[in-house]
Amino acid sequence: MAKSKPIGLGWRSSTLFIISTVGIGLFTDLALYGVVVPVLPYILKDRVNLPEDQIQSHVSALLAAYAGASVLCSPPAGIIADRVSTRQAPFLVGLFALLGATLMLFLGQTFPVLVVARILQGISGAVVWTIGLALLLDTVGPENLGKTVGSIFGFISIGELAAPVLGGVVYQKTGYPGVFGMGGALLAIDFIMRLLLIEKKTAAKWQKQDGRSNGSGEEQEGDAPTEEGEDGDEQEPLLRKKEEDGYKVPEGQSKVVRAYPILYVLKDPRLLTALLLAFNQATLLSSFDATIPTEADQLFGFDSLKSGLLFIALVLPYLLLGPVAGWLVDRYGTKPAAVLGFGYLVPVLVLLRLARPGGTSQIVIFCALLALCGIGLAGIGSPSIVEASYVVTQYDKANPGFFGEQGPYAQLYGFNSMVFSLGLAVGPIISGGLRDRIGYGNMNAVIAALCLVTASLSVVYIGGKPKFLKRK
């Protein structure tokens, strides 16, 4: 007996619902990561009974466990996702890992249990970012990826930037139950949405079945675009065909490359630069996360609640302008957004040194500068993933079958997740260390220099080499 059509097939497979599910998944991952960070010292002190002088080193070890697991598991997650028939199954597995991690952090009484919990949290992060981004591409296509990623990154930045402060505030008011209760509520919403999700390709099978039962008219209608596409292919400019030849993979590749063909693509300087953009974007986000609360305390004597409110100035422009910046990437390409975005951040980061200890006027200056930084973060949110997706799409089109039935997209996003996680781990270490040694203003000058280098590399590689660098 044939399976009945799923209830709510239309809205469960709709573009809006899939994008919302991926957005909630990424938000939950970053929020639970951030909410737990300020609570870790108290868990180690109250439950594990560590002496005061050992807490900092053990907190660092727990942070490293998460980052290491996420970095190591992201590429395998991508490989697995490209070789299974559905994205939903591994997407759910990642959530179960996050649920296990949250329970172990809530109940764990020993340091090894907490380490295992952070490793599970890192594995979950690797899976949700890898599968989530692949699902986005499957759903909206490369032509709409920019504005979609821009919208989602603006939303999830709230979880990444504000969750640590929120975790500290909730812990102060309610203790451990409040922090983990908040995490449990997020997990419940995330689980329901992932369970209800139906992928576009799965929905298409049901719709095709309905078309057959309704007669042959719809089938013939579906054939028309194929014929038009063939005519369009015959009229394709020779110049474009020449460009596609540059993405051909030569014969005689090694066993390793044939088994994991994404490794060949990783030699492309455009893709490597796109991954560098992702790394620097994550480094910037985590640097703000690590230094804004401490700087606000030093300048204005802010507690955790007031420091959390400062993040509104940073996140609001990111949230509002992210979709606009993504649309501009889809419309005008990745090079202008990458070059202008990172280039714009150079003077803005340098100007953060203008804030001084003081009252309302200095707080306003600091908030205004953070808002300017938020505009820059919105500009750099989309180019990395859109550029990387474009490059890999060209290789996939030029080498039919070489990358498998589903292409190498989840593998690509696995590497993207790896470098993004690395940036999230490295950012606080670099920014915190620099702030302690050379001060907040000079720390931001160093990060500004990193943005300048990134903008320069974007001129050369992102979106292809500019005309004045191409050989005639």
CA distance 265 to 268: 6
**Which of 241 and 11 is assigned the larger pLDDT?**
11
What is the mean pLDDT of the segment spanning 419-435?
A: 84
Measured between alpha carbons, how far is 421 from 159 in angstroms, rounded to an integer?
15
Residue 226 has pLDDT above 50, yes or no: no
Round to whole Å and give the CA distance between 245 and 249. Answer: 9
Q: How confident is the model over 212-222, as a mean pLDDT?
A: 45
Q: Could you tell me the two tokens for 58?
A: 């053990």
> How much is the pLDDT for 261?
81
Please tell me the predicted confidence (pLDDT) of residue 237. 56
pLDDT score at 468 = 67
CA distance 184 to 295: 31
- Does residue 318 or residue 209 have the better pLDDT? 318
Please say whether the beta carbons of 469 and 350 come within 8 A. no
- Residue 212 CB coordination number (10 Å): 10
pLDDT range class, residue 357, cuts 50, 70, 90: confident
Average pLDDT, integer, range 301-310: 74
In percent, the amount of the chain with pLDDT more than 70 equals: 87
Q: Look at residue 319 in the predicted model and tell me its pLDDT.
A: 79
Mean pLDDT of the chain: 81
Q: What is the pLDDT of residues 276-300, one digit of tens each?
A: 999 999 889 888 877 887 788 888 8
- Is residue 230 over pLDDT 50? no
Task: Name the more confident of 84 and 10.
Answer: 10
For residue 301, pLDDT over 70 is answered with yes
Whether 238 shows a pLDDT value over 60: the answer reads: no
Res 50 pLDDT > 90 = no
Mean pLDDT value across residues 80-84 = 79
pLDDT for residue 232 is more than 50 = no
Which pLDDT value is given to residue 304?
63
pLDDT in tens, 15-49: 999 999 998 988 888 888 777 776 777 788 888 88
Where is pLDDT greater, at 241 or 180?
180
pLDDT tens digits, one per residue of 114-152: 999 989 988 998 888 888 888 888 888 877 777 787 778
Instruction: Return phi, psi of residue 261, to 5°.
Output: -65, -20
SS (H, E, C) the chain: CCCCCCCCHHHHCCHHHHHHHHHHHHHHHHHHHHHHHHHHHHHHHHCCCCCHHHHHHHHHHHHHHHHHHHHHHHHHHHHHHHHCCCCHHHHHHHHHHHHHHHHHHHHCCCHHHHHHHHHHHHHHHHHHHHHHHHHHHHHHCHHHHHHHHHHHHHHHHHHHHHHHHHHHHHHHHHCHHHHHHHHHHHHHHHHHHHHHCCCHHHHHHHHHHHHHHCCCHHHHHHHHHHHHHHHHHHCCCHHHHHHHHCCCCCCCCCHHHHHCCHHHHCCCHHHHHHHHHHHHHHHHHHHHHHHHHHHHHHHHCCCHHHHHHHHHHHHHHHHHHHHHHHHHHHHHCHHHHHHHHHHHHHHHHHHHHHCCCCCHHHHHHHHHHHHHHHHHHHHCCCHHHHHHHHHHHHHHHHCCCCCCCCCCHHHHHHHHHHHHHHHHHHHHHHHHHHHHHHCHHHHHHHHHHHHHHHHHHHHHCCCCCCHHHCCC
pLDDT for the residue 346: 96
Q: Return the higher-pLDDT residue of 397 and 237.
A: 397
